[in-house]
Structure 1
């Protein structure tokens, strides 16, 4: 028995409607997404996911925004990315018009301002993007406020400075992570503050006064943590301090032929690509670069537990001659073959706790001019976390590389021509062929 054509058409449309209704019902109960961008630009980065994994306990985000606004929908959609990886993250809305007292008590001054609460600690945000929110959560993870004190008065690299040789960008990155930075001149303030979590001595260009060196020695003897950055030709200013740490420097400047593989022609930029099994470098696997670095050497009789943290590869050495033209290692001039040590991590038990010191034979790698090279910033933050006993917060940053689409003039012309002329002509030709076919039938 042949089924009439109109009945077949009706049955087809009923089945199609049933499939669409089923798909709508399933989409309202289940959610499945794909992000096809190269680095997952529309989902949380690995950094944010790792930060959420560090948060033990609920996080509450309160948004002060009026009802019936598109802002609420945007915030809900954005926070949902975080909620997928942390189910106990709660989002709440408070209308500042209906509840002005609540907004006033929290110091809310802008519609859409966010208040993040974690274990009684709070952060306020006036803009919402992944970097800002993840950094805020990262700051809340810190169990205490850490003060980094940078020595000043001898031409040191400043944690607040904007010059190329300064460390201002690094200081800003640390502040985003919840670490406070301040400068200290030992002539103006003879005593290092008791609440100093870490003293940073970054490449002094002039020798310290005997009284200043005595204060640094006393700080070490009392168990203070120290980050010491040196540069070729400037290590003599801190020779007594290095001696107390059982360290000495090799003459000359490190050169590294391995950097040519990265397209770097300057051999005075040293490369570090492998790190020892140590809590300071746990899970750290980024290449780091060190311009104009100094090789270090530790005494076998050191009272510290010493770990060679940063070491160059083979085909590197400490060049004592001029860095120009073709250079080769000269063993007779005291030029030692790599691997050579650029940085040491040192620790010892002191006053019922663990004292930590890191000495790096380079200050440029954290400077404003070189901080963004390879994994330099990540390593710097990793070092600070270890020195302030917060190594559990070592999370490497990851930036999306496909946020901008760059097209050549030829590609732009082809796309424009295709959409403005070729595509309309194709549609007209298709319509003409269909019309011609129907007339012949």
Structure 2
């Protein structure tokens, strides 16, 4: 041990008595400080301008979308520094001839390797110290800095630096020229970052290259997730290259043959791969989420869902159709990316079995055949396979896949099939920028395997809105469209149509009954069944429309609610006067995080063509406004509203009165030990296909819908992932203070380091 320390001390002296080490440390500090102060200035300016800033630790240091300091700039630059330091560790000795003295001395080769590597570990600590200076400033500038995330990131960066150093040490053994050693180190580092993308369509090779890839491991630690798999990876890679260095020096001392060298190095590589394989298997990985908010961990609700599944293995089979446009999201090359998406779940249930089945079959688009006239499916598949440069033999033919599973109802696009104890369900992909299911949809699909799902019945027979039609006024997008994320079917509910004519009755056990914009009067038998359902405590969504107040009046009278004559209008230069935006009242806080979030962001709910509501306090229900109009710009317009004439103007002489009108009411009462919940709205369009497909102006209708569905199901569905709110949401300095920080970090501290290095170098020369 003393020999190792002595060699390390000599190497450090040689390193710091040369300008290269000081130059690199100062340059590294200035690069990082420039990025940090730039982010600091931008965020502080935002705070002074009143912008909403939060989770500052993540945004400044770890957020890849915001180009976090650690995860983008530090990782991007690290590989530039280490080769310049390690290139002379051994090659300098070889070039000068001192290596022969070391070989002839009683010093063990392992002591030489470990001593020089130990010097690099100390230099790496100096690199971390440069980052520590920035973190120290951040600690005093950011309120409640998330130290867990910071220290996890610094530890990950140190492990990465240490692995780079081991690689550089080995490369230095291969050449007497330092520049060649540096270039070789750059090449190996590039290969380790790139190897995870090679031969990903070959199953066996894919697993090997994925393990050897260094990419993504430090990023996870920077974001606050430490795993035994990643820590052991760095330790194994470090040990492997140190072993390679030792074997190389031993071969030079004993003049080993090429075959002997290859055999020994191959044995080391094989041992590392075997250990790495077993330590990377689900169930053998330890996890530590160091973040304050546990942002890298499944929410408590999702964890509870996995516990309810039990110990039985869960089978997840992803079916991928070569001919569908969604194929590009799940090619054989992206299988490892798919496995990583499931890692959050594998952490709590290691016996999830992931499988992929590739096939080709017809798709629900005219483009497939119009772009390939005269070709059958087999010929089109061959064309696609050639274009993608893949082997068509791995794809099942249409007749083969149809014998296994019928995917036509799922549109033959990328879909995951979940099986547990004989139960099965689909976990779908969606037509939005995220594409893959989030934790909300995944947890809902998992729960479908363990519990009876809440059923939402939509009344039909009087011209109500349909859950099966894509017309503008209907509800298919928000209920049964399988590739819409917010649809009931993907949020843990089972929507169904219900007709009460002809002897049918309202099924027992439904979660809620929806009566949306009936166009004709209810027959007496239908009305009796609805009234009985209400009297027995059933939950209800009642959505009316202006001009049809009389149709719902028999039901509303029972509830103590009335729809006002006329239509609400809103003064707005950009939109039609009937496009009224409703505000969520404080009652929305009891409707779950979806609605609470809308309240906090002051999002509005689009209620286009809405009738105002009034209510009586004499009802046996507790009636509270949930949505209201803005009293400053809206009023009730009595009579016929003509939109294609002149602009609608406020006219007090005609009886117009600007005031806040309720557009949605929440009714509750206790019936048989259970709280009955009824929602009445003066607008049925807020859930319509055209409203859900609207991209501008942005509204919170989908989130509001999910919120009151959770209210109807008493919080069972939809599953709302919840984590503690971040508290690092403000700075302790102003814009003027940023200027001072810049001067200190970019001028004073680098100047002091330069002065310190200069003093040491001058004293060294005088000796």
TM norm. shorter chain > 0.5: yes
Structure 2 distance, partners of 1:155, 1:95, is: 44
Q: Which has the larger radius of gyration?
A: 2
Structure 1 range deviating more: 111-120 or 215-224: 111-120
Structure 2 distance, partners of 1:119, 1:379, is: 35
User: For residues 394 and 273 of structure 1, do their structure 2 counterparts lie closer, same or farther at Cα, with a shift above 3 Å needed?
Assistant: farther
Aligned partner of 2:628 among 283, 286, 311: 311
User: For residues 241 and 118 of structure 1, do their structure 2 counterparts lie closer, same or farther at Cα, with a shift above 3 Å needed?
Assistant: same
Task: Please say if 1:14 is aligned against 2:268.
Answer: no
Structure 1 distance, partners of 2:430, 2:584, is: 36
Q: Equivalent residue for 1:54?
A: 301
Q: Which runs of 5+ in 1 are unaligned?
A: 35-47, 97-103, 397-441
Contact 2:635/2:659, CA 8 A, preserved across alignment: yes
Paired residue total: 367
Structure 1 distance, partners of 2:507, 2:213, is: 62
Higher share of residues assigned strand: 1
Cα offset, 1:125, TM superposition:
5.3
Cα offset, 1:168, TM superposition:
2.0
Contact 1:371/1:377, CA 8 A, preserved across alignment: yes
Cα offset, 1:297, TM superposition:
1.3
Task: Please say if 1:320 is aligned against 2:638.
Answer: yes
Q: Equivalent residue for 1:80?
A: 340
Q: Give runs of aligned pairs for residues 77-156 of structure 1, distance below 5 A.
A: 77-83=337-343, 87-88=347-348, 90=350, 91-93=352-354, 114-116=416-418, 122-124=424-426, 131=435, 133-134=437-438, 135-141=441-447, 143-156=451-464
Structure 1 range deviating more: 53-62 or 174-183: 53-62
SS of 1:385's equivalent in the other structure is helix
Q: Deviations over 1:333-357 (max 9, x none)?
A: 5544232110011111111211110
Aligned partner of 2:617 among 300, 307, 310: 300
Cα offset, 1:64, TM superposition:
7.3
User: For residues 151 and 127 of structure 1, do their structure 2 counterparts lie closer, same or farther at Cα, with a shift above 3 Å needed?
Assistant: closer
Task: Please say if 1:388 is aligned against 2:649.
Answer: no
Structure 2 distance, partners of 1:345, 1:166, is: 23
SS of 1:76's equivalent in the other structure is helix
User: For residues 329 and 115 of structure 1, do their structure 2 counterparts lie closer, same or farther at Cα, with a shift above 3 Å needed?
Assistant: same
Higher share of residues assigned helix: 2
Cα offset, 1:193, TM superposition:
1.3
Aligned partner of 1:32 among 195, 213, 219: 219
SS of 1:56's equivalent in the other structure is helix
Contact 1:255/1:268, CA 8 A, preserved across alignment: yes
Task: Please say if 1:217 is aligned against 2:531.
Answer: yes
Structure 2 distance, partners of 1:368, 1:113, is: 23
Cα offset, 1:170, TM superposition:
1.9
Aligned partner of 1:375 among 691, 694, 700: 700
User: For residues 20 and 302 of structure 1, do their structure 2 counterparts lie closer, same or farther at Cα, with a shift above 3 Å needed?
Assistant: farther
Cα offset, 1:395, TM superposition:
5.1
User: For residues 120 and 372 of structure 1, do their structure 2 counterparts lie closer, same or farther at Cα, with a shift above 3 Å needed?
Assistant: same
Q: Equivalent residue for 2:765?
A: none
Contact 1:118/1:140, CA 8 A, preserved across alignment: no
User: For residues 138 and 336 of structure 1, do their structure 2 counterparts lie closer, same or farther at Cα, with a shift above 3 Å needed?
Assistant: farther
Task: Please say if 1:241 is aligned against 2:569.
Answer: no
Q: Equivalent residue for 1:354?
A: 675
Q: Deviations over 1:253-312 (max 9, x none)?
A: 11112x54xx32x01111024442432233334432111100001212332222211111
Contact 1:61/1:89, CA 8 A, preserved across alignment: no
Contact 2:568/2:634, CA 8 A, preserved across alignment: yes
Q: Equivalent residue for 1:165?
A: 473
Q: Give runs of aligned pairs for residues 165-314 of structure 1, distance below 5 A.
A: 165-172=473-480, 173-257=487-571, 259-260=572-573, 263-264=574-575, 266-277=576-587, 278-280=589-591, 281-285=595-599, 286-314=603-631
Cα offset, 1:364, TM superposition:
1.2
Cα offset, 1:49, TM superposition:
8.6
Q: Equivalent residue for 2:663?
A: 342
Q: Deviations over 1:20-63 (max 9, x none)?
A: 667859927933179xxxxxxxxxxxxx9998663124485534
Cα offset, 1:10, TM superposition:
1.1
Structure 2 distance, partners of 1:125, 1:200, is: 26
Contact 1:167/1:366, CA 8 A, preserved across alignment: yes
User: For residues 86 and 339 of structure 1, do their structure 2 counterparts lie closer, same or farther at Cα, with a shift above 3 Å needed?
Assistant: farther
User: For residues 125 and 367 of structure 1, do their structure 2 counterparts lie closer, same or farther at Cα, with a shift above 3 Å needed?
Assistant: closer
Cα offset, 1:199, TM superposition:
0.9
Q: Equivalent residue for 1:416?
A: none
Structure 1 distance, partners of 2:664, 2:346, is: 37
User: For residues 29 and 358 of structure 1, do their structure 2 counterparts lie closer, same or farther at Cα, with a shift above 3 Å needed?
Assistant: closer
User: For residues 171 and 189 of structure 1, do their structure 2 counterparts lie closer, same or farther at Cα, with a shift above 3 Å needed?
Assistant: farther
SS of 1:325's equivalent in the other structure is coil
Contact 2:613/2:661, CA 8 A, preserved across alignment: yes
Cα offset, 1:328, TM superposition:
3.3
SS of 2:691's equivalent in the other structure is coil
Contact 2:301/2:720, CA 8 A, preserved across alignment: no
Cα offset, 1:152, TM superposition:
1.8
Contact 1:82/1:89, CA 8 A, preserved across alignment: no
Cα offset, 1:119, TM superposition:
9.9
Structure 1 range deviating more: 236-245 or 368-377: 368-377
Q: Equivalent residue for 1:437?
A: none
The alignment's TM-score, normalised by the length of structure 2, stands at 0.42
Structure 2 distance, partners of 1:49, 1:85, is: 11
User: For residues 274 and 197 of structure 1, do their structure 2 counterparts lie closer, same or farther at Cα, with a shift above 3 Å needed?
Assistant: closer
Structure 1 distance, partners of 2:663, 2:637, is: 14
Q: Deviations over 1:399-436 (max 9, x none)?
A: xxxxxxxxxxxxxxxxxxxxxxxxxxxxxxxxxxxxxx
Structure 1 distance, partners of 2:677, 2:517, is: 19
